[in-house]
Amino acid sequence: MGIENRVALVTGSASGMGKQTALRMAENGAKIVINDVVPERVEKTVAEFKEAGFEVIGEVADVSNKEAVEKMVKSAVDAFGGIDILVNNAGLEKAGILRKLSEEDWDITINVNLKGAFLCSQAVHHYMVEKNHGRIINIASRAWLGGVGQAPYSSAKAGMVGLTRTLGLELGRKGVTVNCIAPGLIHTPLWDKAPEKLKKRLLSKQPTGKLGEVDDIANAVMFFSDDDTEFVTGQVLYVCGGRSLFAG
Ligand SMILES: NC(=O)c1ccc[n+]([C@@H]2O[C@H](COP(=O)([O-])OP(=O)(O)OC[C@H]3O[C@@H](n4cnc5c(N)ncnc54)[C@H](O)[C@@H]3O)[C@@H](O)[C@H]2O)c1
């Protein structure tokens, strides 16, 4: 049971819920690959993890770039001998209603969230199949159900749900589970900076009346990563305080 001595690559893990997830994994005995596209953040996060005594390496790579992803995975395998857990967490959102969105907004949102998850899964799955053991966890969003001003983001996250279900089917007999987490409103620095009026409106739609914390996502990732969670694949787990229960 657990994830002790497993190797975990968490993309976009120099910030937010990815960083907290990587920390929880390290505390539970996993070897960690911190990835992010911002070099200073990777350096800082790796230094913090080392200071805490964890086994960690840092890889600066843009997950939407195939060559960079392959290089990152090779370095991680050279350092730790394989990759057992992949968390496709790197993401961003370019928001706007249809007439205001640019082609660039669409491309970058789809490329980082969806193509990134595809490229990283493709690059790591050989190592998982070799061992007949692997865990892929995709961080989508409740917004895959649809949201005003969220066409690229909702489409990318819906694509991640399709990717999860398909890879669950393809890799099921090879010891690799593939699952998806759909977070709702999570307490991050972005929230703290949001206008009070917007915060009030968003909170009024939360059935639980509150935000989630980054640890709520880390908890869900820990469940899907566990050696014992082998009979759960292709699933979407909403961690959104019940917000998925109604549309709009
Ligand atoms: N925060 C929320 O309320 C919320 C809700 C639903 C879903 N999500 C999803 O959860 C994930 C993490 O969100 P967060 O709030 O912790 O975000 P965050 O911005 O704090 O962290 C995301 C990290 O990804 C990195 N990143 C961006 N583009 C990258 C690329 N091309 N390659 C590698 N790294 C890249 C960023 O530099 C950043 O450090 C995202 O996929 C996001 O869409 C967040």
> Structure pTM?
0.98
- Average pLDDT value for residue range 183-210: 93
Mean pLDDT over all residues of the chain?
97
Interior CA angle at 37 toward 180 and 186, to 5°?
Answer: 45
Two tokens, residue 236: 């979407």
Q: Residue 85 contacts by C-beta under 8 Å, 6 or more apart in sequence?
A: 3, 6, 7, 8, 9, 25, 30, 134, 135, 136, 137, 225
127 noted as active-site residue? no
Residue 1 lies in a domain: no
Residue 199 lies in a domain: yes
Give the separation between CA 120 and CA 90, rounded to whole angstroms. 11
Q: Which residue has the higher pLDDT, 118 or 188?
A: 118
| pLDDT of amino acid 46 | 98
Tell me: pLDDT of 190 over 90: no
Residue 242 lies in a domain: no
If one residue of 9, 10, 11, 17 were mutated to test the ligand 1 pocket, choosing by the most ligand atoms within 8 A of its CB, it would be: 17
User: Do the bridges between strand 7-10 and strand 85-88 make them parallel or antiparallel, or are there none, so unpaired?
Assistant: parallel
Residue 243 lies in a domain: no
Two tokens, residue 62: 């843009």
Tell me: pLDDT of 248 over 80: no
Residue 245 lies in a domain: no
Contact 144, 161 (CB under 8 A): yes
Two tokens, residue 132: 């007949």
Instruction: Provide the domain count of the chain.
Output: 1
Q: Please work out whether the CB of residue 16 comes within 6 Å of at least one atom of ligand 1.
A: yes
What is the residue whose two structure tokens read 């509150």?
Answer: 210
- Average pLDDT value for residue range 197-215: 95
CATH code of the domain in which 187 resides? 3.40.50.720
Work out the pLDDT band at 189, boundaries 50, 70, 90. Answer: confident
Give the separation between CA 42 and CA 14, rounded to whole angstroms. 5
Q: Please work out whether the CB of residue 38 comes within 6 Å of at least one atom of ligand 1.
A: yes
Residue 241 lies in a domain: no
Tell me: pLDDT of 247 over 90: no
Around 144, how many Cα atoms within 13 Å sit in the side-chain half-sphere? 24
The whole-angstrom distance between residue 42's C-alpha and the CA centroid of its chain comes to 16
Around 56, how many Cα atoms within 13 Å sit in the side-chain half-sphere? 26
- Average pLDDT value for residue range 212-234: 98
Residue 129 lies in a domain: yes
Determine which one of 118, 127, 144, 153 is catalytic. Answer: 153
User: Which residues form the domain of 193?
Assistant: 7-236
Q: Please work out whether the CB of residue 137 comes within 6 Å of at least one atom of ligand 1.
A: no
- Average pLDDT value for residue range 30-35: 98
Two tokens, residue 227: 């050696």
Residue 247 lies in a domain: no
pLDDT, tens digit, for every residue of 72-120?
999 999 999 999 999 999 999 999 999 999 999 999 999 999 999 999 9
pLDDT above 70 as % of the chain: 100
Contact 110, 156 (CB under 8 A): yes
